[in-house]
Structure 1
Amino acid sequence: MELVAGYALVQLVAALFAAFGSAFVRGLTGFGMAILLVPILALALDPVEAVLLANFLSVFIGLSEIRRLIRNAERTAWTIAGIVVVTTPMGLVALAQTPPGIARLAIALIAFSAFLAILLPRRAEGLPGRATTSGVGLLSGLMTGYAGMPGPPVVPYYVGRDLPREIAKASMMLIFTIAAAAGLGSGAAMGLLDWRLSLLAVLLFPAVLLGNMLGNKASGRIGDRTWRIIVGLVLGGAALAAVVRLF
């Protein structure tokens, strides 16, 4: 049964719950929306649609708090975001040429890679070298296009350093917002963007807004060490769930 913009009831319900839950995690940790959202959406929608829908929602929620993100983000966020804009189309081209089953496996493995990276020892607060920052931007752009997930390289880059939590969160969120916009622009330019997705995104956005607000409130009530533990648990849970869903 098709209800809204050609999408069936089961697709809409899955997207609604995934949007709310992933937005709550985003508000709590500063990341996780795409890592949690895309693997779930990819089970109900075509993988390309799942990636682009997640991009729509990421842009919407990012724009709702863009002033705070710009004010608090580390300057490396702009460097990484610029590289992401350039490299995102290459990832999207690869996704469009990949069979759906293989694409779902790749998306699950990308989610798992973020969990492994966060287990690495924490580094000092000083800025990483240009090569490291550029590499993070390159990988993040490719993953944005292919899986709608700029987070796997970005999260360890910021959370793995002794940065104030607000700076780490704002930096990640700013990158993710710009990355999502780049993904939508690339999809439109390549003729892959079904504009029914924009309608679905508008319908889902209230759930995203509510989930993000509740996550932000919860984040203000926990200490930094607890926050970092939650970051690791979220990444691990998302990776495990994404792999389990394949079977």
Structure 2
Amino acid sequence: MERDMDASLLAIGFVVFLAAFTQSLSGFGLALVSMALLPALVGIRTATALVALIAVVIEVVLLLRYRQALEFRAIWRVMLASAVGAPVGIALLRGLDEGVAMFVLGVVLVGYALYALLGLRLPRLEHPLWAYLAGLLGGVLGGAYNTSGPPVIIYASCRDWPPEVFKSNLQGYFLFSSTVVVVGHALGGSFTPEVWRLFWLSLPPIALGLLAGMSLDRWLSPVTFRRVVQVLLVVMGVRLML
């Protein structure tokens, strides 16, 4: 029994390390990686609350690193709309059967990964309504699964921001979105003693993942690494759907 618990904690630590490494290397992927793997280990509701806390820590560190490239005027509409969508997502998660919630999460992971792998190019999105739509969808997904990234990443890709601005703006959005989600979970009583225990145990893997990602980002190709992650997301997403 004790050996099984130790193995489970090691698996959780590895997932957290991989998620932090992915986010620090490519600018996103924290929630996609962690929510693809953690629900099988701790259940989807515990995973959602845990990843919300982990995300705030990681995004604070990365935003401090890329803060000089942040363009707040480019993302404030996305942030505003996400604050509206997040409570809706949290309510949906509480009302959904866990099997249905896992299936929907799998669809989100596979859908985004296939979009990225196929290299689909959408037209440049200039109208402010696109920012509100991306933020609203991101907020709903963030509240339900912490996966606020896909709609906003697609929107950001259609804005043609330089790489540093892309990373910085995404961290700014993710931090705001995660903070809103954390407040929502706190008000809803989602942060159980077990969630807090797992969060404190996750801090060392978070630190190691961040250090590894920030140290290797000049040696590893973020594009190649993202491709590998996207292929894995397809596999993990399909597994959640079965």
Secondary structure of 1:64's counterpart equals helix
2:8 counterpart letter in structure 1: Q
Q: Note the C-alpha offset of 1:168.
A: 0.7
Q: 1:20 aligns with which of 17, 20, 25?
A: 17
Q: Note the C-alpha offset of 1:74.
A: 2.8
Partner of 1:170: 168
Write the distance in 2 (CA, Å) between the matches of 1:25 and 1:123: 27
Write the distance in 2 (CA, Å) between the matches of 1:26 and 1:63: 12
Partner of 2:53: 56
Partner of 2:205: 207
1:165 counterpart letter in structure 2: P
Partner of 2:94: 96
Compared CA separation, residues 143 and 194, structure 1 to 2 (3 A): same
Query: Aligned Cα RMSD in Å?
Result: 2.3
Write the distance in 1 (CA, Å) between the matches of 2:12 and 2:126: 37
Identity %: 23
2:150 counterpart letter in structure 1: P
Write the distance in 2 (CA, Å) between the matches of 1:194 and 1:144: 19
Give CA-to-partner distance per residue, 1:166-217, whole Å, 9 cap, x none. 1111111221122111111101112222143123212212211211221122
Write the distance in 2 (CA, Å) between the matches of 1:98 and 1:61: 28
Compared CA separation, residues 233 and 123, structure 1 to 2 (3 A): farther
More helix by share: 2
Question: Mind listing any 5+ residue stretches in structure 1 that lack a counterpart?
Answer: none
Q: 1:115 aligns with which of 108, 113, 116?
A: 113
In the superposition, the TM-score normalised over structure 2's length comes to 0.88
8 Å CA contact retained: 2:27, 2:170 = yes
In the superposition, the TM-score normalised over structure 1's length comes to 0.87
Compared CA separation, residues 183 and 242, structure 1 to 2 (3 A): same
Question: Mind listing any 5+ residue stretches in structure 2 that lack a counterpart?
Answer: none
Matched, 1:39 2:36: yes
Partner of 1:237: 232
Partner of 2:131: 133
Write the distance in 2 (CA, Å) between the matches of 1:165 and 1:175: 15
Matched, 1:81 2:76: no
Q: Note the C-alpha offset of 1:69.
A: 4.1
1:192 counterpart letter in structure 2: S
